[in-house]
Amino acid sequence: MSGYDLVDIEVTHESADDFLDSLSEDGTDGSHLQSIQAVRLQAGQPDSELRSLKELDENAVKLLEHQVDAAYRALFEMDGKALLADEVGLGKTIEVGMILKEMHFRETDESVLILTPAQLAKQWQAELREKFGLDFVCNYDDEFEDFDAHDYIIASIDTAKSERHRQTVLDRDWDVLVLDEAHYVKNEETDRYDLIDRLSYNYAFFLTATPIQNELTDLYNVVSLLRPGLFGTRDVFHHYFVNSNQETLVNRDELQDRLNKVMIRNRREDTDIDFTDRTIDTRTFDPTPKERELYQAVSDYVKGAYSQDQGQKLVLMLLQKEVVSSPVALKKTIEKRLYDQSELTHADELESILDLIDEIDTVTKQERLLDIVEEARDNVEMGRVIVFTQFRATQQQILDRLASEGYTVHAFHGGHSSSEKEQIVEDFEEEGGILVSTDAMSEGRNLQFCNILVNLDLPWNPMRVEQRIGRVHRIGQKRDVFIFNMALKDTVEEYVLERLYHKIDLFQQSVGELSSILSRLEESGTSFEDEIFERLVAANSEVDLENDFDAVAVDLQEQRELADKLEEFNSGVFEGFDLGESDD
Amino acid sequence: MTDASISVTQSVVEQFTERYLRSIGCSIERSDDHWLVSVPDDIDTEITHGRHTLIRGEGTPDNDDERTKRLHPESAFFQQLLREAGERSPSGKLSIESESDIESPEWIQNSAVEVQGAQFTPYYDRTAIVVLFRVGIETVSEYQQELLRAVAVDTRSEESLPKLAETFLETTTVETETATSGAVQLTKTDVRPLLETARELLLESVQGQLDDIHREASRAADSEVEEYRQMQQQRIQELQEEHSNLSSKIDDLSENISRGDEDSRVQALRERKELKSEYEELDETLNELRERRDSGFPKRQREIRERHSLDVQVTPLTLTEVEYERGEIDFELIDGSIHQTVTLGYGSGIGVADTVRCSSCERELTERNPLQTILDGLKCQSCTKER
């Protein structure tokens, strides 16, 4: 099939008579320069299309029509200042990713600052890198120096407004500012509002699913940061758009027209997003007497050590998590502690824990894991299952065990280079079998070809759980998804699962809902993991512990209800608004 | 070779439109979202004379009328304006001033040696032509592609001056409001051979793109030929089946003829005759098809390949006589405490014209093999590394 030379090329040279005839004419009036410019413009493309779209890796990111449309409008119809206010779960981050990619392509992004709630910063960083190939430094990275040392920064808004950094942030002229969860700057009297108000930038994209938190003034404040003057003064806004008796909107059409210049709001019902069902199967197992003994010993040790020295919190928390993951993970940490630190108190207690570990010959969770993967091997396409664990030692042991049982296995952890990671995912897709992964499997990895996920151990941070599930249960997943949670009876995991996650229906949240709940929690200053740990070590009895976890669950539930109410409220306010193009 | 087209943004549209309209004698009153334009009757332009409203950007009105027009990158009015401006003065003259920034060659830019000063001494004026060519490439399987390319040729030596073409593009963006100009000195007779050289240089420069498109077109033609071949093969098989069906029907009839009574024999004979002629026709078609297949369907192949051929149209759109200066440049180089002055042939707009070699190993100094040290002559990176 080499007919390459058989297709002819015919070159025709058009006559040059036109300008040969004009050679002698006097061109002193500058019209020749204009002719050159006109010819060059005629050959040029209208500069208002998303030219970076074809640069994107289709495997890394699947773009939806409403997202492309939003990015286009924000860039070209709103002159690069927009409030992206899609309902939750429609992919506002993707829209911003596209906008930033396009600006990068057009070289209008010399300095970009993305401000997010603290716990979403790393997730933003991973998504932008993996889906759009955009490299940002996060203020939690070791390499982060200060706000004047890097050109592409993702930072928690509270770090940016802190005394240490504030001036540096303000001294710089930013090309692009992205503000996630923009409703947190609704109050004009806060430091956050002040920071954004004083920041100098050319383009800004604010994101929120709920532009209105309490009252319509919130909308005024957020929009005025983006487009000062769009709504006139605060008083004018109030008089003109708000019926002060009932706090409802008047002059809706006029408000819609003005909002149309700055705000994009897609509604779920208007998009073609459809998620498949999620089935949760939580399996709790009786630990063997030896495992129970080990769990008790570790818990006692953690409690005792923490009451004496709260500085060791992180490592104690680690031990408490490892004991339910696998004895081998626990062993590694304890040995490291024993041999690395000469002045260790309670060394004898740790030694005896090591002895208990050595006595364990059956690891219940690993045995039961075999039931699940065997079931999958018989019933699922290529027997594909993803098993998540938090610890590398556990991961290795499971890999060895599964391999010895004749399963095809793949390992995925943070130690791989990104090209290796890609290869692993590819192999898993092609060869099937079991992928055992740590939480290094972050946003952006496409695993919709698999629909069974096992949580061998459970992170205490629900966001992590959601991230794991999000790897398989995402736009593009065509089958129902099955999640297996494994926990040992009467352990912290059972509490976290039964008391917390199930009570708030964590596993049934719609995608994106959780991050809005958790950013609300963060707003109230709570770290979820700390909360769980504190309650665990402080409880005097099992009844205490149960009550404590119930209290946390109530908190979460409240936040969830608040988030739901807000969504409802915003839907209500914007109902009847056609906030898309009005030409159809 | 650099793309000579300019991206058409709204601000560029407005900048160019305003300057052009004013230059031909129109007046403009600007307000926020529209302009009022007056076109005096005595101006030679295709734009309707009188007063107009130009609406900035897209949106209403949906249709232009005589007096209200939209102004945006794709608006009919702007396109009309570009056509007119483009044809108004396709030839002319520009000067590249010697004051324009002096650019040191890449083999110095990429080295650790610093340039402390540079002094250009022009010795003589030179002339070049820069031609903007539109290259249209068309084939059935690909979208039509249009390229705009600038080619610069020295009028005396006919050497290609790619750097000058780049400088030309840099100095003729929409941001440039005026450029020193004057009447073209060159005559038709001077220009014709230069234009020929420019055309050759142009084709060389777009060869890579042509090859890519050619390859795609060939692939498309090949697959069409293959598709046709398969279709014919399938047809041959169908005909063969029909052929053998007919043959067995004829056999059956022959048996009936030898067995049945007279009426049915006559009937069978008649039928057999019809079938036989059908059979022969089929036989002929089949043989013909097989023959064509065995020779590779030459006629069809030719048709397909002709249809896929690439049609390249080269149209010169503007010709600019460019004056530039040639002479020598002194670069004062400094490396730590060592100073050295290097004198090189140089031209305004074309940069350093000399090839410089390493004083130790004689390798050419380039972007990839930059200057490493100026201690005892100019020494390149490769030979210093080897030591």
Closest CA to A182 of A210, A148, A161: A210
What is the DSSP code string of A475-543? Answer: TT--S-EEEEEEEETTSHHHIIIIIIITTTTGGGPPTTHHHHHHHHHHHTT--HHHHHHHHHHH-SSHH
Q: What is the CATH number of domain A61-270?
A: 3.40.50.10810
Cβ within 8 Å, pair A39-B176: no
- Give the tens place of pLDDT for each residue, A175-218: 999 999 888 887 888 899 999 999 999 999 999 887 776 677 78
Check residue A209 and report its DSSP letter. Answer: S
Structure tokens given for A355: 């002895």
DSSP 8-state symbol, A76: I
CA distance A29 to chain B (A): 8
Does B91 contact chain A (CB < 8 Å)? yes
Under 8 Å between Cβ of A370 and A439: no
**How far is the CA of A287 from the CAs of A292, A388, A460, A543, B156, in angstroms?**
6, 20, 20, 21, 94
Say yes or no: B9 contacts chain A, CB-CB below 8 A: yes
CA distance A243 to A262: 23
Contact B86 A38 (CB under 8 A): yes
* Least CB–CB distance from A22: residue in B89, B179, B308: B89
| Full DSSP string of A136-194 | -EETTSTT---TTT-SEEEEEHHHHHSHHHHHHHHHSEEEEEEESSGGGG--TTSHHHH
Determine contact: A46 vs chain B, CB below 8 A: yes
Whether A61-270 shares its CATH topology with A362-571 is answered yes
Kindly determine whether residue B8 and residue A46, on different chains, have CB atoms separated by under 8 Å: yes
CA distance to A5, A152, A484, B304, per residue, from B139 (Å): 15, 44, 56, 12
When CB atoms are compared, the residue of B73, B179, B184 closest to A33 is B179
Identify all chain A residues contacting B92, using CB atoms and an 8 Å cutoff.
27, 31-33, 35
- pLDDT value for A414: 81
d(CA A226, CA A205): 8
Question: Going by C-beta distance under 8 Å and a sequence separation of 6 or more, which residues neighbour residue A203?
Answer: A80, A81, A103, A108, A175, A176, A177
Task: Confirm or reject contact between B188 and chain A (CB < 8 A).
Answer: yes
SS3 state of residue B115:
strand
Query: Are A14 and B314 inside 8 Å of each other by CB?
Result: yes
pLDDT value at residue A1: 40
Contact B91 A9 (CB under 8 A): no
Cis peptide before B61 (omega within 30 of 0): yes
A2, A17, A19: best mutation site toward chain B, by most B Cβ within 10 Å?
A19
DSSP codes of every residue in A133-147: ----EETTSTT---T
Give the residue on A whose Cα is nearest the Cα of B147.
A43
What's the number of CA atoms in the CB half-sphere (13 Å) around residue B340? 16
The whole-number pLDDT of residue A581 equals: 35
Q: So what's the pLDDT on residue A83?
A: 94
Of A502, A429, A409, A529, which Cα lies nearest the Cα of A471? A429
Inform me whether the C-beta atom of residue B187 falls under 8 Å from chain A C-beta atoms: yes
Smallest CA–CA distance from B316 into chain A, residue: A16
Q: Could you tell me which residues come within 8 angstroms of residue B204 by beta carbon, excluding any fewer than 6 positions away? A: none
Quick count: other Cβ atoms within 10 Å of Cβ B329? 23
Query: pLDDT by residue for chain B (387 residues), tens digit each?
Result: 678 988 888 888 999 999 999 999 999 998 877 899 999 998 888 888 899 899 887 655 555 677 888 898 888 899 999 999 999 889 888 887 655 678 888 899 888 888 998 999 989 889 999 999 999 998 877 667 889 999 999 999 999 999 899 989 988 998 888 776 677 889 989 999 999 999 999 999 999 888 888 887 888 888 888 888 888 999 999 999 999 999 999 888 888 777 777 887 888 888 888 989 999 999 999 999 999 999 988 888 888 888 888 899 999 999 999 988 899 999 999 988 889 999 999 988 888 888 899 988 989 999 889 998 888 888 898 887 766
DSSP B160: B
Cβ contact (<8 Å) for B182 and A23? no
Give A30's contacts in chain B (Cβ within 8 Å).
23, 178-179, 181
Q: Domain map of chain A by residue range?
A: 61-270, 285-359, 362-571
Rounded Cα gap, residues A299 and A467, in angstroms: 28
- B53-57's contacts with Cβ under 8 Å and 24+ in sequence apart are B54/B17, B56/B10, B56/B14, B57/B10, B57/B33
Please give the Cα distance from A219 to A183 (Å, whole number).
Answer: 8
* Residue B195 at interface with chain A, using a CB cutoff of 8 Å: yes
* Helix, strand, coil in percent for chain A, rounding step 5: 55, 15, 35
Angle (deg, nearest 10), helices A347-359 and A327-340: 150
**A41 to B94: CB separation less than 8 angstroms, yes or no:** no
CB atoms near residue B187 (< 10 Å): 11
Cross-chain Cβ contact B308/A12 below 8 Å: no
Q: Give the pLDDT means over successive 10-residue stretches in chain A (584 positions).
A: 65 85 68 92 78 73 86 87 84 92 85 88 86 92 94 94 95 95 83 92 90 76 83 77 68 78 83 78 92 94 86 87 94 87 73 93 93 86 90 95 94 82 88 91 70 91 77 80 91 82 67 60 65 83 80 76 74 54 32
B73 CB within 8 Å of a chain A CB: yes
CA distance A123 to A101: 17
Are β-strands B50-56 and B68-71 bridged in parallel, bridged antiparallel, or unpaired?
parallel
Count of A–B CB contacts within 8 Å? 205
Q: Determine contact: B89 vs chain A, CB below 8 A.
A: yes
Q: What is the ipTM of this complex?
A: 0.85
Q: What residues of A are in contact with residue B206 (Cβ under 8 Å)? A: none
Residue B173 sits at the chain A interface (C-beta within 8 Å) = yes
Query: Using CB atoms and an 8 Å cut-off, which of residues 383-422 of chain A contact chain B?
Result: none
Q: Which of B6, B178, B206 to mutate to test the interface with A (most CBs of A within 10 A)?
A: B6
Cα radius of gyration rounded to whole Å, chain B: 36
Question: Which residues partner with A78 through β-bridges?
Answer: none
Chain B CB contacts of A1 below 8 Å = 222, 226
A37, A62 Cβ separation under 8 angstroms? no
* Residues of chain B with C-beta less than 8 angstroms from the C-beta of A16: 195, 316, 319
Q: Are A101 and A134 in contact (CB under 8 A)?
A: yes
Q: Do the strands B142-154 and B310-335 form a parallel or antiparallel pair, or are they unpaired? A: unpaired
Quick count: other Cβ atoms within 10 Å of Cβ A364?
A: 17
d(C-alpha A218, C-alpha A233), whole Å: 14
DSSP B173-240: STT------------HHHHHHHHHHHHHHHHHHHHHHHHHHHHHHHHHHHHHHHHHHHHHHHHHHHHH
**Measured between alpha carbons, how far is A577 from A267 in angstroms, rounded to an integer?**
11
The total number of residues shown for chain A amounts to 584
Whether residues B146 and A36 touch (CB distance < 8 A) is answered with no
CA distances to A23, B17, B43, B75, B143 from B26, in Å: 26, 11, 8, 20, 39
Residue pair A353/A294 in contact by the 8 Å Cβ criterion: yes
Contacts of A297 (CB under 8 A, 6+ apart): A349, A352, A353, A356
CB A198: neighbour CB atoms within 10 A?
10
| Four-CA torsion B371, B374, B379, B382, nearest 10 degrees | -50
At the top level of CATH, the class of A362-571 is alpha beta
Q: Do B214 and A39 touch (CB under 8 A)?
A: no
Buried b (16+ CB within 10 A) or exposed e, B344-381: bebbbbbbbbeebebebeeeebeeebbbbbbeeebbbb
Q: Which chain B residues are within 8 Å of A10, Cβ to Cβ?
A: 309-312
Closest CA to A481 of A376, A371, A411, A367: A376
Residue of A nearest to B18 (CA): A34
Count helices and strands in chain A by DSSP H and E runs: 23, 16
Q: B271 vs chain A: nearest CA distance in angstroms?
A: 47
Q: E strand or H helix at B130, and its extent?
A: strand B114-139
Closest residue in B to A14 (Cα–Cα): B315
Strand partners, A205: A82, A178
A519 within 8 A of A157, measured Cβ to Cβ: no
Which residues 212-231 in chain B show a CB within 8 A of chain A?
Answer: 214-215, 217-218, 221-222, 225-226
The enclosing H or E element of B368 equals none
Looking at residue B130, its pLDDT comes to 96
Nearest to A40 among B148, B187, B199 (CB): B148
* CB B313 within 8 Å of CB A15: no
Nearest chain B Cα distance for residue A115, angstroms: 30
Write out the two tokens for B18: 């305003």
Contacts of A24 in chain B (CB under 8 A): 183-184
Q: Cα distance from B74 to chain A (closest Cα, Å)?
A: 7
Tell me if chain B has a CB within 8 Å of the CB of A14: yes
**Considering only CB atoms, which chain A residues are within 8 Å of B221?**
3, 6-7
Distance in Å from the first CA to the final CA of chain B: 37
Using a CB-CB cut-off of 8 Å, the residues of chain A touching B83 are 38, 42
Task: Report CB contact under 8 Å: B186, A14.
Answer: no
Residue in A closest to B186 by C-alpha: A23
Considering only residues 243 to 262 of chain B, which have any Cβ-Cβ distance to chain A shorter than 8 Å? none
| Contact assignment for B87 to A36 by CB distance below 8 Å | no
The answer to whether A41 faces chain B, any CB pair under 8 Å, is yes
Chain A environment of B187 (Cβ under 8 Å)? 23
B8/A44 touch (CB, cutoff 8 Å), yes or no: yes
Enumerate the β-bridge partners of residue A486. A283
Site of tokens 């010169």? B316
State the maximum Cα–Cα separation within chain A, in Å, rounded to a whole number: 105
pLDDT at A484: 92
